[in-house]
Amino acid sequence: MQIRRKAETPEKTEIRLKLYADELILSIDKTSCIKCDICSIVCPQNAIWVESSPDGIPDICIDPQLCVLCEVCSHFCPVSCIELKWNNTPKKILESQHALADFPEKISVDRRCCPEGCSPVIELDNRWCRRDRKWIENLHELCPKYCHHCLESCPRTVYTLLEDEIVFDTEQCLRCMTCTLFCEYGAIKIEPVFEG
């Protein structure tokens, strides 16, 4: 016995496959989906794709008859909006058997390339900036070597400031290359570069 159903709302698409004793559920969170099309590229059945709707907003679509619930799309989704469950437990059979490729490190930052800002002089309101050859306010953030271009340019929350040091969360990275365009010191490397 096998019953396959598809339910769809503007926020979510769900495919349920009911077997005798087991149930597989593939759910797509449409609000989190960034329509990057990676799922359609990796799908071995061409069961999932992104298409433009009549209002011009892209939508993610899936054919329940073509989908074999193999978990490849959920593994490669960069924002984890596709989830596959086997009896309410995440299905990770292919991943646990090393049947899917490991992800290469997304971001590497060579902190030796990043400049160190000058320390403020505690007792003064202003200080002399040797680089710009002018007086500036005695604030660490106003030092021209105090660079946060990666933090300011990232469209997601990959970079955060933690106690005067920038830390990065590779899980949030989409490999969009924006931070590398703004980093004037060449400290950031992103591999592999997403093209799509």
Q: Determine what percent of the chain falls in helix, strand and coil, rounding each to the nearest 5.
A: 15, 30, 55
- Which pLDDT score is estimated for 98? 78
Tokens 């329940």 belong to which residue? 64
* 120-160 residue pLDDT tens: 566 667 766 666 677 766 565 555 556 778 888 888 888 88
Using 50, 70 and 90 to split pLDDT, how confident is the model at 196? very low
The pair of three-digit structure tokens given for residue 122, joined into one six-digit string: 């505690």
Using 50, 70 and 90 to split pLDDT, how confident is the model at 26? very high
CATH 3.30.70.20 domain locations along the chain = 3-96, 107-190
Q: Residue 181 half-sphere exposure, CB side, CA atoms within 13 Å?
A: 9
- Which pLDDT score is estimated for 43? 93
Selected from 3.40.50.620, 3.40.50.2000, 3.30.70.20, 3.40.50.460, the CATH number assigned to the domain covering 3-96 reads 3.30.70.20
Q: Residue 4 half-sphere exposure, CB side, CA atoms within 13 Å?
A: 8
Q: Is the pLDDT of residue 59 over 80?
A: yes
Residue 79's closest CA among 154, 152, 156?
A: 156
Q: Is the pLDDT of residue 50 over 50?
A: yes
- Which pLDDT score is estimated for 164? 67
| Mean pLDDT taken over the chain | 80
Looking at 53-137, which runs of residues are DSSP E strands?
Answer: 58-62, 82-86, 89-90, 107-109, 126-129, 134-137
Tokens 């679509």 belong to which residue? 61
Phi/psi at 11 (nearest 5 deg)?
-95, -25
Q: Is the pLDDT of residue 63 over 50?
A: yes
Selected from 3.30.70.20, 3.10.180.10, 1.10.1740.10, 3.40.50.2000, the CATH number assigned to the domain covering 107-190 reads 3.30.70.20
